[in-house]
Amino acid sequence: MAKKVARAPLDYLNMPAMKAWLAGVFIFLYTPLMILILFSFNDSKANIVWKGFTFKWYVKAFENTQLREALFNSLLIAGVCTVISVVLGALMAFAFWRFKFPFKGPLESGMSLPIVVPEICFGVAVLMFFAKVGFPNDLPYPFNLTQIILAHVTFAFPFVAIVVRARLEGFNPELEAAALDLGASPFQAFRDVIIPHMKPGLIAGGLLAFTLSLDDFVITFFASGPGTITFPVKVYSMVRFSVTPEVNAASTIIILITVVATVLALRAQAATTKES
């Protein structure tokens, strides 16, 4: 007699249909990426048939000066944007957490506006803004990246603020009181107790800001002046002619950077939940 294994109500993974569905979802999600990565090692100019393994596209991508410059610009922009976003986002989160002030509710809801507004609208708005204020277009490198950095900060720092704000919700106010009670000034209490508590949120938010800035295309496209180019914009311009394995190779590198950043962010958040 075939044994029928009893199944708990929430034991979905023991259902064959559910397993197949799950596999389907993963295939749908990751096949395009896998193909992109696979063909970055393909010894053929056409992205269709597998001809053999090679690193030459990576070498070629690396030798492409423009592409290299674009990647460096992107990393520089993302780095500066991260630092500014973390500071602004943390301060904003702290202000909303700590203080009561008029219009706090609408302001707090407005905090997520840059997240929900379609990027294309945001891009146009940024373009119009810089034109209206007459932002100098001819600054020497690397200051000609300022516009892109400013644009990136505007949409990246609310992410930091939201992550840090959520983290602060779990803060035990008695910890701050204890620091004051032991002789710390309000600033020392902030530095010694509140910032360490925020830290996982700062790291997670910072990495979020970094990856958002690194792969942003639409807003960057509108904000970039003549002569400034970032990695996604450069890749787009290369793809306009044809998708070469060189683009695959470059994209693979970006995927790698993003994955590493995400893993770090998740780790930071895991530390958060473990503590509380």
Partner 1 sequence: MSDRDTIIRVEEVSKRYGKVTAVDRVTLEIPRGEFFALLGPSGCGKTTLLRMLAGFEMPSEGKIFIDGVDMSTIPPNKRPVNMVFQSYAVFPHMTVFENVAYGLKFDNVAKADQYGRVMAALADVKLDHLAERKPDQMSGGQRQRVALARALVKKPKVLLLDEPLSALDAKLREAMRFELAELQDKVGITFVMVTHDQDEALAMAGRCAVMDRGKLMQTATPSNLYEFPANKFVADFIGSVNLFEGTLEVDEPDHAIVQSEELGGRIFFDHGVSGAGGEKMWVGIRPEKIELLKREEGAAPPTPEDAPSGCNVTAGTVRQISYLGSESIYEIDLVNGRRMQVSRPNLSRWDQEDFTWDDEVWLRWHGDSPVLLQS
Q: Is 229 helix (H, G, I), strand (E, B) or coil?
A: coil
Cα–Cα distance, 118 to 199 (Å, whole number): 30
Q: Measured from the CB of residue 93, what is the shortest distance to partner 1 in angstroms?
A: 19
Q: And the tokens for 164?
A: 């840090």
Query: Please, which of residues 197-256 interact with partner 1 by CB under 8 A?
Result: 197
Compute φ and ψ for 25, nearest 5 degrees. Answer: -60, -45
Query: Which residue's CB is nearer to partner 1, number 193 or number 233?
Result: 193
Query: Which residue's CB is nearer to partner 1, number 138 or number 174?
Result: 174
Task: Please choose, out of 43-51, 61-69, 193-201, 216-224, the segment that lies near partner 1 by the rule CB under 8 A.
Answer: 193-201
Query: Which residue's CB is nearer to partner 1, number 176 or number 246?
Result: 176
Helix (H) or strand (E) holding 160: helix 146-169
Residues touching partner 1: how many (CB under 8 A)? 18
190 contacts partner 1 (rule: CB under 8 A): no
- Is the alpha carbon torsion for 198, 203, 206, 212 positive or negative? negative
Q: How far is CA 109 from CA 103, 105, 236, in A?
A: 10, 6, 34
Pick from 139, 192, 225, 236 the residue near partner 1 by CB under 8 A. 192
Is the distance from CB of 148 to CB of 77 less than 8 angstroms? yes
Helix (H) or strand (E) holding 83: helix 65-98
Compute φ and ψ for 272, nearest 5 degrees. Answer: -60, -55
Distance of CA 179 to the CA centre of its chain: 34
The residue behind tokens 């290369």 is 238
Query: Please, which of residues 128-187 interact with partner 1 by CB under 8 A?
Result: 172, 174-175, 177-185
Task: Please choose, out of 67-75, 161-169, 192-200, 220-228, the segment that lies near partner 1 by the rule CB under 8 A.
Answer: 192-200
Query: Which residue's CB is nearer to partner 1, number 121 or number 178?
Result: 178
Q: Measured from the CB of residue 178, what is the shortest distance to partner 1 in angstroms?
A: 4
Pick from 11, 43, 63, 275 the residue near partner 1 by CB under 8 A. 275
Query: Which residue's CB is nearer to partner 1, number 24 or number 196?
Result: 196
Distance of CA 172 to the CA centre of its chain: 29
Query: Which residue's CB is nearer to partner 1, number 102 or number 183?
Result: 183
Contacts with 114 (C-beta within 8 Å, 6 or more apart), sequence order: 122, 154, 155, 158
Query: Which residue's CB is nearer to partner 1, number 36 or number 193?
Result: 193
Q: Measured from the CB of residue 115, what is the shortest distance to partner 1 in angstroms?
A: 30
Contacts with partner 1, residue ranges (CB under 8 A): 172, 174-175, 177-185, 188, 192-193, 196-197, 275
